Amino acid sequence: MGSSEGKSEGGEWPRPVVPRIGARLSYALHRVLAANALYRRLGAWVERRRPVYRWFTGAERVIKEQLYGCRMCGQCALPDTGYTCPMTCPKQLRNGPCGGVGADGRCEVHPELVCVWVTAIERAEEAGHGADLDLLQRPVDHREWGRSSWVNYWQGRDEGLGVAPGGDSPRSLVRRELGLSPR
Ligand code: SF4
């Protein structure tokens, strides 16, 4: 992608999306799709065939866009964010909220909507995965936009996407912004 990385086809910046599917069901589905030798071979097979890869990527786009507002960054953070897409943050922040999130959890850019990081922590903690938000996500590799994150994940390219931080984590930032005690 060029200078319009992250914008919609209409040239607009994203809006926070509340997933249409619960976090617990998402974690369960992830277990079904968890990387293993079979999926790795399937991913490699799909990647070698351009028409199949295009079809597969298109199917992923439709499914994840409907469920999570996925924008096809190609390096999926969903398993670490309570299955809330950080790329629907208008600022596309992958490591917690900006300083503009309201004390009531509202987005600074779209005050009528809830900050994706507030949604993320609520969903992750409700499903018993709050500690996932203690990880920091490495920067997006913009060359991967539009590519299949499922194939990338099965091929092991997402390894190290989330790393333990030395300082503030997304979870600690959300809790601080909302005036909640640290965990
Ligand atoms: S692939 Fe990227 S844009 Fe799509 S849901 Fe995952 S993090 Fe969001």
pLDDT in tens, 60-75: 999 999 999 999 999 9
Number of domains within the chain: 1
pLDDT of 8: 61
Residue 74 CA to ligand 1 center (angstroms) comes to: 6
- Among 10-14, 53-57, 153-157, the least confident range: 10-14
Q: Return the structure tokens found at 126.
A: 């409700």
In a domain, 10, yes or no: no
In a domain, 17, yes or no: no
SS (HEC) of 108-159: CCCCCCECHHHHHHHHHHHCCCHHHHHCEECCCCHHHCCCCHHHHHHCCCCC
Nearest CA to ligand 1 atom 5: 70
List residues near ligand 1 (CB under 6 A).
64, 68, 70-73, 76-78, 85-87, 149
**Whether residue 4 has pLDDT greater than 80:** no
pLDDT of 1: 40
In a domain, 39, yes or no: yes
Residue 43 CA to ligand 1 center (angstroms) comes to: 18
Nearest CA to ligand 1 atom 6: 76
Name the band, by pLDDT with cuts 50, 70 and 90, for residue 116: very high
CA distance 20 to 25: 11
In a domain, 18, yes or no: no
Range of the domain at 128: 23-177
In a domain, 1, yes or no: no
Residue 19 CA to ligand 1 center (angstroms) comes to: 12
In a domain, 7, yes or no: no
Rounded average pLDDT over 104-126: 96
**Whether residue 3 has pLDDT greater than 60:** no
pLDDT of 177: 81
Rounded average pLDDT over 2-31: 82
Atom of ligand 1 at shortest distance to CA of 74?
Answer: 1
Residue-wise pLDDT tens digits, 39-49 = 999 999 999 99
Which of 105, 107, 96, 80 is closest to 23 using CA atoms?
80
Residue 78 CA to ligand 1 center (angstroms) comes to: 7
Verdict on whether the full-model pTM lies above 0.75: yes
Nearest CA to ligand 1 atom 7: 76
In a domain, 13, yes or no: no
In a domain, 81, yes or no: yes
CB atoms within 10 A of CB 139: 8
